[in-house]
C-alpha cells in the first residue's frame, strides 16, 4: 500500500519508541498530524535550542533516540542545541527544512546552506531531496546515531518546512527498533586484550576505576560494581557518570577532575593503575591531564577505538561495549588480590573530605550556603528521582555536595551549555513520566529558557526546577571584583521567580532558610503541576578550585571580601 513520507516518518517513530518530537513550528506538519494519530506526541517549544536540549534529555533518561526539528530559518539555532549532545555522546535525530534545487544560490527567502554547520555537530548529515530517499537515509541516520560511539545525526528535508514528505516513499524500508536505542550493538574486546588487562590488574597494588559516561550509556553499572567488588578496586566517576555507584558505597570516592571532590582527585593521583571505562579521558575528567599523571599505567575501555590511548601514552586497549567487556573481565578473573591497605587509604581520604565538607553542608548561615542547599536537595530526592544538573557552578556543587543515595536515582548533567538543564529536564520527564524529575540550576542558567515553563504546563510535564538564586553569575565574580563599576557584568537585578512561575501557571515556592527546603520539596512533589523552588543563596560563596597534586585540598569554599559588596 502506498505510504507518504509523513506517514513513514510517523510510523517509524511509533515503531521505535520515539514517543516525543520536540520542535519549533513549522516543520513537517503532515508528519506531526500522523504522529499524533499513532500515539507520538509533538511538543512545540519556544525555541530551537530548547527543543534540542529536550530531545537530549529524553535520550539520556531513556537510552532511546531523542528527536527534534525546526524549519529552515531555525536550523542554525537547532544546530547550536546539538553541541551538548555531541560532546556527551548522546544520539539525537535533528530534522530541519531546507532548500530546493530550484532555489539554491538565488537568495531565496530565509535560506542559507546549513549543511556545513551540521557537519561539525553530527555523526551523519544528509539531505533528503525526494520522499523516495527518506527510508534509506532515515535508516542510515538511526544506525549511525546508536552504533559505535553514539552522537547526533541530521536530516535536512527539502523545502522550507520539509513539505516534500507529502509525496509517496515508494517501497517502505523497515527499520529495526534496536537502532533507536543505544547501544544498538554490543561488541566484545579481543581475548588477547582482555588477558593483558587482567595481567596488569594483578600486577597493580593501587588500581582505581574512573567511570565515564559510557558506563551509563551502556547500562554497565551492575557489571562495573561486580568487577570492582571482586577485585577490591575503588571507583571514581566522571561527572557524566555520577550515580553509577551510590555515594555511600565503601568503594565510592566521588567525582574526579575539574568539578570534583578532593578525595577522588587524591585517590586517582595515588593510583598505580587507572582503569578508564567509557571515558574520553578529556580535560574536565583529568583536570587537564594532570590527574592521573601522564606516565601512569592506564587500561582504557571504550566502544570507539579512536578514543583509546588518545591522551595517555601508557595505555592497554579494550575496545568494545562497556557492559560486554566488563563481563568478559569478570569471566576471565583469577583469584582476587588482597588490597586492604589501598582500600583503607582511600577510605581515609574520603572520611577526611566528608568531615571537612560537613561544616559547610550543615551551616545555618543566611543567605544559605549552596553547599547546604545541595545537602538538603540530596536528602529530599525520592529514591527513583532523575536529577538534571546544569553547568558552571551548578556542576561544581553537584559534583562536590550532592549525594546519590539509591541505585534507582539517575543523574544527568550539561556537558557545558549554560541553561541546558531546565529544558533537558522536560525531555527527561517526557521519557520517564512515572519518575520525579528535578533540575538543579543557577538563576543565570534558568533565565536562558524559563519561557519553557509554559511548555511544561501545556503538556503536563510536571518537572521541579530548583533555582540556586544568588542574583548573579557568581562563578564570574573573580573577574570583576576590582571595582563596583563592573557589577553589571555579573550581578543581576532582583527577579522574583515565584511570581514568574505563577504567571506561567506553575507553583512557585521560595526557600530562604535551609530547614524550609525539605517541606518545600514535599509540597512540590505533591503539586501535580510544574514547580519552581527559588532557593536564596549567598552570592559571595565561590566554589574552590579542584585539588591538584602538590596543592592544598579545597573543601572550604572561597568567600569574597565584604569590601567587594
Q: According to the model, what pLDDT value does residue 561 have?
A: 45
- Distance CA(319)–CA(325), nearest Å, equals 8
Of 315, 347, 379, the residue that ends a domain is 347
Contacts of 142 (CB under 8 A, 6+ apart): 16, 65, 93, 153, 175, 179, 180
Neighbours of 171 (CB within 10 A): 9
Q: Residue 185 falls within a domain, yes or no?
A: no
- Distance CA(142)–CA(65), nearest Å, equals 8
Whether residue 24 contacts residue 70, with contact meaning beta carbons closer than 8 Å, is answered with: yes
Q: Residue 355 falls within a domain, yes or no?
A: no
Q: Residue 471 falls within a domain, yes or no?
A: yes
Q: According to the model, what pLDDT value does residue 552 have?
A: 56
Instruction: Collapse the DSSP code of 143 into the 3-class scheme (helix H, G, I; strand E, B; otherwise coil) and give the result.
Output: helix
Residue 51 is part of a domain; what is its CATH number? 3.40.50.970
Cell of 551: 596543592
Number of independent structural domains in the chain? 3
Q: Which residue has the cell 541530521?
A: 154
Instruction: Collapse the DSSP code of 146 into the 3-class scheme (helix H, G, I; strand E, B; otherwise coil) and give the result.
Output: helix
Q: Are residues 23 and 171 in the same domain?
A: yes
Contacts of 148 (CB under 8 A, 6+ apart): 185, 303, 304
Whether residue 128 contacts residue 158, with contact meaning beta carbons closer than 8 Å, is answered with: yes
Q: Are residues 148 and 238 in the same domain?
A: no
Q: What is the pLDDT of residues 156-196, one digit of tens each?
A: 999 888 999 999 998 778 889 999 999 999 999 999 999 99
User: Phi and psi of 240, rounded to 5°?
Assistant: -65, -20
Residue 265 is part of a domain; what is its CATH number? 3.40.50.1220
Q: Which helix (DSSP H) or strand (DSSP E) does residue 94 occupy?
A: strand 92-97
Q: According to the model, what pLDDT value does residue 422 have?
A: 98
- Distance CA(299)–CA(276), nearest Å, equals 6
Q: According to the model, what pLDDT value does residue 1 have?
A: 64
Q: Residue 186 falls within a domain, yes or no?
A: no
Among 242, 298, 389, CA closest to 252: 242
Q: Are residues 153 and 229 in the same domain?
A: no
Q: Are residues 444 and 516 in the same domain?
A: yes
Q: Are residues 32 and 176 in the same domain?
A: yes
Q: What is the pTM of this model?
A: 0.96
- 275, exposed or middle or buried, with CB in 10 Å at 0-12, 13-18, 19+? buried
Contacts of 355 (CB under 8 A, 6+ apart): none
Q: Tell me which residues of the chain have a pLDDT lower than 70.
A: 1, 552-565
Q: Are residues 277 and 390 in the same domain?
A: no
Count Cα atoms within 13 angstroms, Cβ side, for 333: 17
User: Phi and psi of 237, rounded to 5°?
Assistant: -125, 150
Q: Are residues 300 and 432 in the same domain?
A: no
Domain that holds residue 237: 191-347
| Cα→Cα distances 334→202, 227, 231, 404, 560, Å | 9, 12, 9, 32, 54
**Is the torsion defined by CA of 542, 547, 548, 552 positive or negative?**
positive
Q: Are residues 150 and 294 in the same domain?
A: no
Q: Residue 477 falls within a domain, yes or no?
A: yes
Among 257, 191, 244, CA closest to 216: 244
Of 154, 180, 206, the residue that ends a domain is 180
Cell of 227: 568487577
Q: Residue 372 falls within a domain, yes or no?
A: yes
Of 180, 215, 232, the residue that ends a domain is 180
- Distance CA(363)–CA(236), nearest Å, equals 27
Q: Are residues 324 and 429 in the same domain?
A: no
Q: Are residues 159 and 101 in the same domain?
A: yes
Among 274, 286, 308, 277, CA closest to 215: 277
- Distance CA(60)–CA(55), nearest Å, equals 9
Using DSSP bridges, classify how beta strands 252-255 and 273-277 pair: parallel, antiparallel or unpaired.
Answer: unpaired
| Cα→Cα distances 189→44, 195, 300, 321, 536, Å | 43, 10, 11, 8, 50
Q: Are residues 509 and 378 in the same domain?
A: yes
Q: Residue 354 falls within a domain, yes or no?
A: no
- Distance CA(356)–CA(427), nearest Å, equals 37
Q: Are residues 290 and 154 in the same domain?
A: no
- Distance CA(44)–CA(41), nearest Å, equals 9
Q: Strand 92-97's sheet: what is its strand order?
A: 41-44, 20-24, 66-70, 92-97, 153-157, 124-128
* Three-state SS letters, 250-308: CCEEEECCCCCCHHHHHHHHHCCEEEEECCCCCHHHHCCCCCCCCCCEEEEEECCHHHC
Q: Residue 90 falls within a domain, yes or no?
A: yes
Q: Which helix (DSSP H) or strand (DSSP E) does residue 444 occupy?
A: helix 443-449
Q: What does the chain come to in residues?
A: 565
Amino acid at each position: 500500500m502506498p505510504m507518504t513520507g509523513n506517514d513513514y516518518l510517523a510510523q517509524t517513530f511509533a515503531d521505535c519508541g520515539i514517543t516525543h518530537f520536540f520542535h519549533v513550528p513549522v516543520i513537517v506538519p503532515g508528519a506531526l498530524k500522523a504522529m499524533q494519530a499513532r500515539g507520538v506526541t509533538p511538543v512545540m517549544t519556544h525555541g530551537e535550542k530548547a527543543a534540542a536540549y529536550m530531545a537530549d534529555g529524553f535520550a539520556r533518561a531513556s537510552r532511546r533516540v531523542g528527536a527534534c526539528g525546526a524549519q529552515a530559518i531555525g536550523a542554525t539555532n537547532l544546530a547550536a542545541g546539538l553541541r551538548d549532545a555531541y560532546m556527551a555522546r548522546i544520539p539525537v535525530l535533528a530534522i530541519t527544512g531546507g532548500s530546493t534545487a530550484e532555489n539554491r544560490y538565488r537568495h531565496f527567502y530565509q535560506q542559507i546552506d546549513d549543511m556545513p554547520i551540521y557537519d561539525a555537530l553530527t555523526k551523519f548529515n544528509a539531505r533528503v531531496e525526494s520522499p523516495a530517499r527518506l527510508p534509506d537515509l532515515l535508516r542510515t541516520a538511526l544506525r549511525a546515531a546508536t552504533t559505535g560511539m553514539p552522537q547526533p545525526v541530521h536530516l535536512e528535508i527539502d523545502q522550507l518546512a520539509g513539505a516534500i514528505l507529502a509525496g509517496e516513499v515508494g517501497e517502505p524500508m523497515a527499520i529495526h527498533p534496536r537502532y533507536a536505542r543505544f547501544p544498538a550493538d554490543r561488541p566484545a574486546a579481543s581475548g588477547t586484550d582482555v588477558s593483558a588487562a587482567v595481567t596488569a590488574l594483578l600486577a597493580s597494588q593501587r588500581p582505581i576505576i574512573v567511570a565515564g559516561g559510557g558506563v551509563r550509556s551502556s547500562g554497565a553499572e551492575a557489571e562495573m560494581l561486580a568487577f570492582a567488588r571482586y577485585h577490591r578496586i575503588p571507583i571514581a566517576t566522571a561527572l557524566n557518570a555520577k550515580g553509577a555507584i551510590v555515594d555511600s558505597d565503601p568503594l565510592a570516592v566521588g567525582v574526579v577532575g575539574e568539578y570534583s571532590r578532593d578525595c577522588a582527585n587524591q585517590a586517582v593521583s595515588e593510583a598505580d593503575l587507572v582503569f578508564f571505562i567509557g571515558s574520553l579521558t578529556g580535560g574536565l575528567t583529568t583536570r587537564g591531564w594532570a590527574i592521573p599523571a601522564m606516565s601512569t599505567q592506564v587500561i582504557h575501555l571504550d566502544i570507539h577505538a579512536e578514543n583509546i590511548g588518545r591522551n595517555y601514552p601508557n595505555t592497554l586497549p579494550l575496545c568494545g561495549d562497556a557492559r560486554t567487556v566488563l563481563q568478559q573481565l569478570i569471566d576471565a578473573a583469577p583469584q582476587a588480590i588482597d588490597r586492604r591497605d589501598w582500600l583503607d587509604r582511600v577510605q581515609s581520604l574520603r572520611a577526611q573530605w566528608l568531615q571537612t565538607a560537613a561544616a559547610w553542608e550543615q551551616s545555618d548561615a543566611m543567605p544559605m550556603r549552596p553547599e547546604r542547599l545541595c545537602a538538603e536537595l540530596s536528602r529530599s530526592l525520592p529514591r527513583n528521582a532523575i536529577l538534571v544538573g546544569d553547568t558552571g557552578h551548578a556542576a561544581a556543587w553537584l559534583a562536590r555536595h550532592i549525594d546519590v543515595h539509591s541505585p534507582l536515582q539517575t543523574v544527568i548533567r550539561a556537558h557545558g551549555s549554560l541553561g541546558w538543564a531546565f529544558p533537558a529536564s522536560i525531555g527527561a520527564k517526557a521519557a520517564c513520566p512515572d519518575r520525579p524529575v528535578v533540575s538543579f540550576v543557577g538563576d543565570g542558567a534558568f533565565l536562558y529558557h524559563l519561557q519553557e515553563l509554559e511548555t511544561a504546563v501545556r503538556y503536563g510535564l510536571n518537572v521541579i526546577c530548583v533555582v540556586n538564586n544568588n542574583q548573579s553569575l557568581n562563578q564570574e565574580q573573580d573577574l570583576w571584583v576590582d571595582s563596583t563599576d563592573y557589577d553589571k557584568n555579573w550581578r543581576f537585578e532582583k527577579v522574583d521567580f515565584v511570581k514568574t512561575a505563577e504567571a506561567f501557571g506553575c507553583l512557585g515556592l521560595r526557600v530562604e532558610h535551609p530547614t524550609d527546603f525539605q517541606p518545600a520539596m514535599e509540597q512540590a512533589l505533591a503539586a501535580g503541576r510544574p514547580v519552581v523552588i527559588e532557593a536564596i543563596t549567598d552570592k559571595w560563596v565561590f566554589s574552590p578550585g579542584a585539588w591538584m597534586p602538590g596543592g592544598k585540598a579545597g573543601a572550604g569554599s572561597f568567600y569574597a571580601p565584604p569590601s567587594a559588596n
